[in-house]
């Protein structure tokens, strides 16, 4: 694998750290700014909103630029957003800075995935995407706990300055390691990128992302109360258990990339079926501490097996102009985050019990599997039509001309 993938992974590590570190820093931020925990929670939403808005807009705005230049510029915006977060004098300034930090997130992963697949042979595309995503999953193991630790001892502002420093390392890595002209298809421009989004298979792939990862976040958003109320863990143990989720996510990400290079659709279906099984078993697994720990690892593994296949599938469906569609898939991941958390919250509010968000997630995963199956059926139908059409042309068949032309 090219060393340039390391530069993409470093950028992904910084982005993953700043996205998830805010959850651990919320109490410190709330105390320092003298706001409530729910009000501080809006900072998480502001970042996610920046991702959803920034992913398609920045990908479209930079459609004709060199992809290395785009990646460096996006990481520069990331550094600025985190530095401004560290310097924010109040709640509203911090909200704006978090929104700014989220803007480059989706476009970086979207354009980065296009660059990554262009650096390797066709049979290694999924693996190259998984190696870029490796930075994101490792951030949950090392980056987020480190940022939380720094925030608790040196202040939350120091944590964001540390993330900015990671961004500067990523900029240097991208500039030095990403080829000036990556070995991928030239940009199709804004018109070509927008045209790719008119494809039904692209939207079915995006729908699979929303439903599939919505299943993950339906359960993961409420994993702490599940571990404390259902499994009986002390609150101090939750941080270590969340690191186990990061381990599972890292294993699933690498496994999914390797398997998807052999069978993209098979890996996606297998991952979604595994996710359904894990979430359906969550109430039973949360009945004991040892099985609850296993459940956390399995949840990360099953969910992230599908990450690389979903990203690559969207790119293949928009092969002529993949940057915008690839970035839109990152927006879909964050829509899944918000939507899954909302649906899981509905299950809790309805009084179905601490583990009910996992069962709601299982239902979402079934929906994701149904959308993926529909996409597969559409692909087979189109392939059959193309085969028939090609056979007629080879046989010398010429379609009848319209009557107007016959005259």
CATH number assigned to the domain comprising residue 305: 1.20.1250.20
Domain residues for the domain of 287 are 190-395
With contact defined as beta carbons under 8 Å apart, do 107 and 55 qualify? yes
Region of poorest pLDDT, from 50-59, 70-79, 317-326: 317-326
Q: If you average pLDDT over every residue of the chain, what do you get?
A: 84
User: Could you say which DSSP state residue 315 is in?
Assistant: H
Mean local confidence (pLDDT), 11-32: 83
So what's the pLDDT on residue 45? 76
Shared-domain flag, residues 166 and 94:
yes
Indicate whether 143 and 251 sit together in one domain. Answer: no
Clarify whether residues 237 and 360 are in a common domain.
yes
Instruction: Report whether pLDDT(318) > 80.
Output: no
> Is residue 322 domain-resident?
yes
Per the structure block, which two tokens stand in for 237? Answer: 């143990």
> Residue 399 above 80 pLDDT?
no
Nearest to 249 by CA among 137, 143, 336: 137
Q: Are residues 113 and 223 in the same domain?
A: no
pLDDT for res 302: 93
CA distance linking residue 247 with residue 337, whole number of Å:
20
Assign 299 a pLDDT band (cuts: 50, 70, 90). very high
Among 110-114, 273-277, 358-362, the minimum mean pLDDT is found in: 110-114
What pLDDT score does 114 carry? 84
Q: Tell me, yes or no, if the pTM score tops 0.75.
A: yes
- In this structure, is residue 406 part of a structural domain? no
How far apart, in Å, do the first and last CA atoms of the chain sit? 61
**Whether residue 359 has pLDDT greater than 90:** yes
pLDDT tens digit sequence for 74-123:
999 999 999 999 999 888 999 999 999 999 998 898 888 888 888 888 88
pLDDT for residue 183 is more than 70: no
For the chain, how many helices (H) and strands (E)? 17, 0
Asked if residues 204 and 376 have their Cβ atoms less than 8 Å apart, the reply is no
The CA–CA distances, whole Å, from 246 to 41, 138, 346 equal 22, 7, 26
In a domain, 309, yes or no: yes
Residue 400, judged by CB atoms within 10 A of its CB (0-12, 13-18, 19+), counts as: exposed
* Pair (336, 230) in one structural domain: yes
Burial class (CB in 10 A: 0-12, 13-18, 19+), 184: middle
Task: Please state the rounded mean pLDDT for residues 198-202.
Answer: 81
Where does a domain end: 162, 181, 200?
A: 181
With residue 226 as reference, give the H or E element that holds it: none
């Amino acid at each position: 694998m090219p060393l340039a993938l390391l530069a993409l992974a470093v950028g992904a590590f910084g982005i993953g750290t700043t996205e998830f570190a805010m959850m651990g820093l919320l109490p410190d931020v709330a105390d320092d700014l003298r706001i409530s925990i729910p009000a501080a929670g809006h900072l998480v939403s502001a970042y996610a909103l920046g991702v959803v808005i920034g992913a398609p807009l920045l990908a479209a705005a930079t459609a004709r630029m060199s992809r290395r230049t785009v990646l460096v510029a996006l990481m520069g915006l990331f550094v600025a957003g985190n530095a401004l977060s560290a310097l924010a004098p109040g709640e509203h300034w911090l909200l704006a800075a978090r929104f700014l930090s989220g803007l480059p997130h989706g476009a970086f992963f979207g354009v980065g995935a296009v660059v990554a697949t262009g650096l390797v042979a066709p049979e290694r595309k999924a693996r190259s995407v998984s190696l870029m995503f490796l930075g994101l999953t490792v951030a949950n193991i090392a980056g987020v706990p480190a940022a939380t630790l720094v925030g608790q001892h040196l202040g939350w502002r120091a944590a964001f300055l540390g993330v900015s420093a990671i961004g500067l390392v990523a900029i240097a890595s991208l500039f030095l390691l990403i080829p000036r002209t990556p070995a991928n298809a030239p940009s199709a421009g804004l018109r070509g990128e927008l045209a790719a989004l008119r494809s039904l298979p692209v939207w079915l792939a995006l729908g699979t992302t929303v439903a599939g990862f919505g299943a993950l976040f339906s359960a993961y958003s409420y994993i702490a109360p599940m571990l404390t109320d259902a499994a009986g863990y002390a609150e101090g143990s939750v941080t270590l258990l969340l690191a186990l989720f990061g381990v599972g996510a890292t294993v699933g990400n690498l496994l999914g990339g390797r398997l998807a290079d052999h069978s993209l659709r098979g890996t996606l279906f297998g991952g979604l079926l595994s996710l359904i099984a894990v979430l359906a078993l969550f109430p039973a697994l949360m009945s004991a501490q040892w099985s609850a720990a296993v459940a956390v690892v399995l949840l990360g593994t099953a969910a992230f097996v599908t990450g690389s296949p979903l990203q690559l599938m969207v790119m293949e469906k928009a092969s002529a102009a993949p940057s915008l569609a690839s970035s839109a898939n990152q927006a879909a991941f964050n829509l899944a985050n918000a939507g899954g958390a909302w649906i899981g919250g509905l299950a809790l509010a309805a009084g179905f019990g601490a583990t009910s968000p996992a069962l709601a997630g299982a239902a979402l995963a079934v929906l994701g599997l149904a959308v993926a199956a529909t996409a597969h059926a559409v692909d087979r139908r189109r392939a059959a039509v193309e085969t028939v059409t090609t056979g007629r042309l080879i046989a010398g068949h010429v379609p009848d001309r319209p009557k107007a032309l016959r005259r």
